[in-house]
A and B are shown apart, each in its own frame.
Chain A
Amino acid sequence: MRRLPCIFALLLLLAVAGQATAAFRFPIPEFESGYQHPTPVTPAPRLIPPAVDIAALAGALSITAWLVLKRRSRREVLLMAVASVLYFGFYRKGCICPVGSVQNVANAVVGNGMGVPFVVAVYFFLPLLFAIYFGRVFCAGVCPLGAAQEILALFPVQISRPLEHVLGLFAYAYLGFAVLAIYTGAGFLVCQYDPFVGFFRLGGTFNMFLAGGILLLIGIFVARPYCRFLCPYGVLLRWASIFSKWHVTITPAECIQCRLCENSCPYNAIVVPTPENAPDDRRAGARRLGLLLLATPLIVIFAGWTGLASHQFIARIHPTIRLAERVAAEEQGVYAERSVESEAFRAGSKTPADLYAQAEALRIRFKTASACFGAFMGVAFCGRMIRLSVIRRNRDYVADQGACLSCARCFAYCPVGKEDAAF
């Protein structure tokens, strides 16, 4: 543990140094000798046929599922994660990626209606399909963002389960906010604020590296913070994985209640056997659940109203609204100088009145979006409360199908072998 400060320092330095690879631009030299400047050429795109992308994803998912479910090998899953970081991360530069594809699909459904390219659609649906059958094998060893964090989770500790439940709600908020941004045309926030893509591309803004560095740093101890508490696609995978048919099991045979695996999962994804004696009587629990179910519609409506009330605050994520505010302030003499954005706008053909009209139309759109966002968060809060109020009796140590990332850590803790299945 005494070495840890060094690791902290190194990762932070890496974040700073990574920015050093960002491109510098300044004017080309001026010549008077008739020298002809070569025409700037954009490098040809790296052409990867869509079939290769799809095959790579399907192959990686299949292999990971096989490693997790059949081979039950942590080391091999980890090697798969390394391979994914190298291919999907560094070679494919983190794009295309199922996490970002959530926005493409949302854009087609609630955004500007632009069609989703076939490859992107496959990238969105295929991991979900695998989750329905095999659990979150995508998270285990295919997602480059998750894999990078998995590799660096060197000294993982368990955080308290109640805290885990609360922090998990941030992912819902991020998902809702990302869809809101798509609906209002504010942009692809998940991509804009992707903390790891800067590392994969060895270039990016300082803030991007800082955010990524901090997440990786936290991830050394609190494993996979982005996956558990932020990833919007993780929310969908969680929902799909809950119904998975052949989800990974801690023990390959029958649980012998040895409790060796009890603290093996850094993701708090092991459900312990339900104790026989509950502190509350059954009726008290049922009353609480009933009240919660009755209150849910009201809570959702109230949450929707809070979203609606705060729509002007949320609307500031939109660049057009920020620009309109700036231009209006400049027109009222609040600022002595014009901003770069304002100058660019004024150089165009639109008038401030056009801009204000556009901002007003957007504000109205934000009202709807914010109300839906608030209601969605109300559903998320109530859903989690209901889940915590419903007692599902289980006798063994089993994986929480929604939360389990199929990382295969727990296998080593189970003394029961496959050959014990006969017993």
Chain B
Amino acid sequence: MPLSDKNKPRFAANETLWRTAMTVAVVAGLFALVVSTLLIANYLQMRAVNPLDNPEIVKLRLQLAQSQEPNPTLSEQIRVLDLLARKAFFTSQKQLQAGAYLLLGGVVVLALALYLAGQSRPRLPLPNPDVPAPGYWTVRARARELIALAGFVWVIGALLAAHFTRLDVPVPAATASLGAPVIPAKAGTSLPASEEQQKTQPAAAPTVTWPDWATVKKNWPSFRGPGSYGVAQFTTAPVEWDVESGKNIKWKTDVPLPAPNSPVVWDNRVFLSGATADKREIYCFDSDSGQLLWAYTLGKLEGTPDAPPKVSDETSFAAPTMAVQGDRACAIFANGDLACVDFSGKLLWGKNLGAPDNHYGHASSLIAFQNLLLVQFDQKANGRLVALDLSDGHEVYAVKRGIISWSSPACVETPTGFQLLLNSSKDVTSYEPLTGKQLWQLKCLSGEVAPSPAWGAGLFLVANDYATATAIKFAEGKTPPEPEIAWQFEDALPDTSSPVGTDTHFYLSTARGEIVCLDAKTGKQAWMQENEEGFNASPIAVGDRIYLVDRKGMVTIFKDSDSFEKLGSPTLGEESFATPAFMDGRIYARTATKLICIAAG
């Protein structure tokens, strides 16, 4: 067989070249090893050292900063040291770079030498004595099996990834699975958008001018009225009515889903929410006719837990009262779903705040302040005060809160500015509502706190059953305000119902049916009246009268006075746990199944 001359010498060994190449390879290898070691040492040193953190320079800088007058000597000393440190740093960096090139050269020479060594002692081709036939078919069969196995692994991996991965990004309102108004509006009322429209048309974020405090006070925007401390701005509520005969009853409307939350009112709209384990709804009523204009069913939001939360019967799935501000109303439910709708029943935004870790169920009501929706999300773990921008729901701030409670926030205009008060099961804390900055905190509560703070006669009052009622005053002219205990009362204390304050008195109503009047200045009990039924709803001060609904729906109306002067005790006709809303000449009260509007004439 003739061999190509060109190919003949390719497998020839060259002992001399091999020895030379190996010598060069050893030298180049050692060189590269030494350079590498030095480089790594230098690199690690550089990583650890920042010339600006030189302790001597830091010390001198501190001295310079503390010296009252200019110190040119010290400045010059710092400059010299700074320059030295930088020089050292850059020198080291240059060494590193030079070393990297040297190392690269060493590795290239090493590779070249090893290549030449390999060429000088080539391995001769040595075919397998067996013919390739058996292996040919086996290789193909094995390859098919391995590819099938790889495909199987691929599918399992993809399925596992699909099962265990879920993007934790809230679905924006425009793309959330939207619910629809389930009850069609009657003729002559503003119609809500159709389901299809709601699904396809994101509610445009309007340019909103948020209502000022004066406007807010003309409405009933949250639990216990403006500021959520139980004082009505209108004093014209009727004192007489009869649900059965219809006397002074403007209208009565059935509420589709039950809940203990209270009505909120803005202009001519009344809002309520209701929920069961698997359904969450917001209702809007016409305040003049009582007609249910729309009911919005909240769909599943991103993060909405699949299983309903465990709640007590009393708390239920929609205990928190809604908040309404300007052109939008917000509701929160027991599963952490928070929704903001406009007055036509269109979802503006929605988010889930996380499943509440709460053994009775989430109960704190919402409150709005300027452009913020403030959520007291006190839970066993990860409790927080969250401020969300009403325009789109984005978080403006969140303040960590450590202790669970069922109380609702109150926002009070004090002489030193607005304060947002939050009760917890140990203390009461005041925050700046716009920033979340804590102003003060006082440890004066205990137990499972549900009552909310009251404000009257320049004092805050917080109370809870089996704890105390504590009146808090402030030293004049102190900023931030410094709280002091004005007095404490330890007798009949509220369990769920919140206290209310007037210019002269504080009133407490208990789960056992006691109504207690305390002198605002001294904390002394002015009188106590026992009611047959206990109270869940909170008393509301309407001018010089106090309205208080008991669990059976009987409303005790009495005068704000040093002695108990009953003005009337009309009834709502059935059980009630909600606190009524008081507007000009009207009362909106929620009973177990109805929303009732009471108006004189």
Contact = CB atoms under 8 A, between A and B. Distances in A.
Interface string A265-284: 00000001111111110000
**Chain B interface: which size bin?**
35 or more
A260 interface: yes
A299 B35 CA distance: 54
Interface string A393-423: 0000000000000000001111111111000
Contact of A26 (B52, B83, B96): B52
Given A20-B99, A162-B139, A166-B143, A325 B43 contact: no
Given A166-B143, A261-B125, A356 B167 contact: no
B89 to A, nearest CB: 8
Contact of B143 (A24, A162, A280, A312): A162
A286 interface: no
Nearest to A416: B4
B172 A360 contact: yes
A124 B439 CA distance: 65
B131 A328 contact: no
Contact of A315 (B147, B167, B171, B392): B167
Given A26-B51, A272-B132, A310-B162, A388 B147 contact: yes
Nearest to B42: A20
Given A310-B158, A413-B125, A154 B114 contact: yes
A166 B147 contact: yes
Interface in A305-354: 306-307, 309-310, 312-316, 321, 324-325, 328-334, 336, 351-354
A49 interface: no
Interface stretch (A2-10, A189-197, A221-229, A237-245): A2-10
B25 A3 contact: yes
A307 B100 CA distance: 44
Nearest to A278: B137
B143 A388 contact: yes
Given A24-B93, A312-B165, A14 B36 contact: yes
Interface in B511-538: none
Contacts of A332: 303, 353-354
Given A275-B137, A310-B165, A419 B4 contact: yes
A124 B592 CA distance: 74
A309 B156 CA distance: 12
B33 A6 contact: yes
A344 to B, nearest CB: 16
Max chain A Cβ within 10 angstroms of own Cβ: one of B101, B104, B155: B155
B146 A165 contact: yes
A20 B162 contact: no
Given A262-B132, A332-B353, A313 B161 contact: yes
Nearest to A32: B75
Interface string B148-172: 1011001100110110111111111
Contacts of A260: 125, 127
Contacts of B347: none
B136 A420 contact: no
Interface stretch (B394-402, B449-457, B539-547): B394-402
A273 B137 CA distance: 12
Contact of A163 (B39, B146, B162): B146
Contacts of A165: 143, 146-147
B167 A420 contact: no
B352 to A, nearest CB: 8
B13 interface: no
Contacts of B400: 333, 336
Contact of B125 (A18, A263, A336): A263
A385 interface: yes
A264 interface: yes
Nearest to A412: B10
A32 B398 CA distance: 42
Contact of A13 (B1, B11, B39, B351): B39
B289 interface: no
B132 A381 contact: no
B32 interface: yes
A356 B169 contact: yes
B169 A328 contact: yes
Interface in B26-45: 29, 32-33, 35-37, 39-40, 42-43
A21 B136 contact: no
A415 to B, nearest CB: 5
A11 B150 CA distance: 31
Contacts of B175: 357, 360
A108 B50 CA distance: 45
Given A10-B33, A261-B125, A313 B165 contact: yes
B168 to A, nearest CB: 5
Contacts of B168: 325, 328-329
Contact of B136 (A6, A275, A313): A275
Contacts of B142: 160, 162
A349 B192 CA distance: 32
Interface in A242-266: 256, 258-264
A307 B158 contact: yes
Contacts of B101: 202
A259 B128 CA distance: 9
Given A20-B100, A29-B86, A279-B137, A312 B384 contact: no
Contact of A20 (B75, B97, B127, B161): B97
Given A24-B93, A161-B139, A353 B100 contact: no
A331 to B, nearest CB: 4
B127 A262 contact: yes
A353 B1 CA distance: 80
A262 B25 CA distance: 31
A175 to B, nearest CB: 15
Given A14-B104, A413-B125, A277 B162 contact: no
B167 A17 contact: no
B39 A17 contact: yes
B146 A162 contact: yes
A70 interface: no
A351 B162 contact: no
A315 B168 CA distance: 12
B24 to A, nearest CB: 13
B133 interface: yes
Contacts of B11: 412
A333 B352 CA distance: 12
A83 interface: no
B247 interface: no
A65 to B, nearest CB: 19
Max chain B Cβ within 10 angstroms of own Cβ: one of A259, A315, A414: A259
B578 interface: no
A209 to B, nearest CB: 11
Interface in B94-113: 96-97, 99-101, 103-104, 106-107, 110-111
B478 interface: no
11 contacts: A151-B115, A166-B143, A169-B150, A263-B126, A312-B165, A352-B392, A353-B392, A356-B171, A359-B169, A417-B2, A418-B4
Interface of B: 1-7, 10-11, 25, 29, 32-33, 35-37, 39-40, 42-43, 46, 50-52, 75, 79, 82-83, 86, 89, 93, 96-97, 99-101, 103-104, 106-107, 110-111, 114-115, 118, 125-128, 131-134, 136-137, 139-140, 142-148, 150-151, 154-155, 158-159, 161-162, 164-175, 303, 349, 351, 353-354, 382, 384, 386, 389, 392-395, 398, 400
Closest 10 CB pairs of A and B: A417-B4, A275-B133, A13-B36, A313-B161, A309-B162, A313-B165, A306-B158, A162-B143, A20-B96, A259-B127
Given A151-B111, A163-B146, A272-B132, 8 more contacts: A9-B33, A17-B36, A302-B155, A359-B169, A360-B172, A385-B148, A388-B140, A415-B3
Interface of A: 3, 6-7, 9-11, 13-14, 16-21, 24, 26-27, 29, 32, 151-152, 154-155, 160-163, 165-166, 169, 202, 256, 258-264, 272-280, 299, 302-303, 306-307, 309-310, 312-316, 321, 324-325, 328-334, 336, 351-354, 356-357, 359-360, 363, 374, 377, 381, 384-385, 388-389, 411-420
